[in-house]
Amino acid sequence: MKASLAIAAIAALAAKASAACWSESQGYPCCSSPNAEVWYTDESGKWGVENNDWCGIPKATACWAADLGYPCCSSTTRVEYTDNSGKWGVENGDWCGIIDGGSSTPDIPDVTPSGEQYTISGNPFSGVEFFINPYYTAEVDGAIAQMSDSSLIAKAEKMKTYSNAIWLDTIKNMQSWLETNLKGAYAQQSGSKKVLTVFVVYDLPGRDCHALASNGELLANDGDLARYKSEYIDVIEGHLKTYNSQPVVLIVEPDSLANLVTNLESTPACADSEKYYLEGHAYLIKKFGVLPHVAMYLDIGHAFWLGWDDNREKAGKVYAKVISSGSPGKVRGFTDNVSNYTPWEDPTLSRGPDTEWNPCPDEKRYLEAMHKDFKAAGISSVYFVSDTSRNGKKVDRKHPGEWCNQTGVGVGARPKASPVSGMDYLDAFYWIKPLGESDGTSDENAERFDGYCGHETAMKPAPEAGQWFQKHFEQGIKNANPPL
């Protein structure tokens, strides 16, 4: 957004809010922003809460953007930027204000699912189109608006043509994004060609028990476990049952079970979370694992987390127990390297002091070993999806366990089904962690500062986890391997 526009928008807010303050006649002020969270809706309008009291959310009148020197949008509803004045789109190469009905998420297409059951047979990534994440497309458009290098802009434009996962990382985000994108994928389908959508299920109580940068909204207690089941998993299940004529992949709770393998004794928060991780997985496997059009992949960390012989052996027992606890639900397989930077292949590394004697110093060798060990542990379905969103170039980290906003990043192999000859158990390369979204803040005074985000090899300054990190994105597309 142009700086002058943002300043003008703030200056004009009070006048516009007063003009549209319908709730004053009922004894309540109007909210300070038309984008305030809606707590209640009645015949008068939408109500929010500010200063512990009700407030009326201002209604869009004629063309509110005209007060700021810009037209209102005539056709687009795609939100490029949001400030205190409202939601902004772009038409004819200039900003325009989106009138009431615009949204910070894509409009839900006006479609009704057919109800014709689709059944995944084999690799869910094969024989389908990949759904393009509209939120990420908007993020990249925002990044392009900050660029002047034409060659870099061309690379960024290509990023919008590749699929990546949609993260359901809070109850609110799940409510905003799940049905919206299921409907979008359904509307995109034509004839027998199905459109696959990939979601990350990520809201366990006590989430990220060994990290600070992205710990979740639910705490490790019985009350929040009940919320996880009823307000999160059950709602996801309901939407998946409605949109049963299209394939869906679920990447399940990154980092959680890997923490149970390695961090129970060393990290009290992980010991406190163990019960809720196990019960949460059992519950979701029972719910999702019986849906024929849904394939689930449990997260197994990465090569420099569980790659050592003793860790892999213990992992086999933990994951076999978890999968059994969700019977009759089925799990298709496992996902590795989510939000990490370990290269797919690194022939320069071998088992030795440089790798702390890890026999699996890259993701390929890690999956080869895990396939054998998980089969030996009695797990019947052992297939993998490997996250290649940020491992195209060997990063500058001093130790392969460093994970936060690594310098030298490069986007890796493109999303593709069955990408490696001779590895029939590798279902896909896929972009699970969107390049450009921060791993965590480098601000040491921030509540969720994690020491890894302050390491020498972590790019700084960095915003909070999940927020857009322009410099990291630009470096990632410059270093893409294969090149964009």
Residues within the annotated binding site? 167, 169, 302, 305, 340, 403, 433, 437
Architecture of domain 66-97: Alpha-Beta Complex (3.90)
Could you read off the pLDDT tens digit of each residue along the chain, which spans 484 residues?
333 333 333 333 333 333 346 787 778 888 877 667 777 777 677 877 877 778 888 765 456 777 677 777 765 666 767 666 777 777 666 777 776 543 344 455 666 787 789 999 999 999 999 999 999 999 999 999 999 999 999 999 999 999 999 999 999 999 989 999 999 999 888 777 899 999 999 999 999 898 876 678 999 999 999 999 999 999 999 999 999 999 999 999 999 999 999 999 999 999 999 999 999 999 999 999 999 999 999 999 999 999 999 999 999 999 999 999 999 999 999 999 999 999 999 999 888 888 889 999 999 999 999 999 999 999 999 999 999 999 999 888 777 778 899 999 999 999 999 999 999 999 999 999 999 999 888 888 888 888 788 888 999 999 888 899 999 999 999 999 999 9
Tokens representing 305 are 């987390």
Domains 24-56 and 66-97 are alike in CATH topology: yes
pLDDT one-digit tens code per residue, 191-228: 778 999 999 999 999 998 988 766 789 999 999 999 99
Residues within the annotated binding site for substrate? 167, 169, 302, 305, 340, 403, 433, 437
Domain ranges of the chain: 24-56, 66-97, 129-479
Among residues 277, 294, 188, which one has the least CA distance to residue 236? 294
Rounded to 5 degrees, φ, ψ at 194 are -90, 155
DSSP per residue, 430-461: EB-S-TTB-S----TTSTT--GGGGSTTB-SS
pLDDT one-digit tens code per residue, 295-337: 999 999 999 999 999 999 999 999 999 999 999 999 999 999 9
CATH superfamily of this structure's domain 24-56: Cellulose docking domain, dockering (3.90.1220.10)
d(CA 99, CA 176): 19
What Cα–Cα distance (Å) separates residue 36 from each residue in 58, 99, 218, 392?
9, 15, 23, 40
Active site residues: 255, 439
CATH superfamily of this structure's domain 129-479: 1, 4-beta cellobiohydrolase (3.20.20.40)
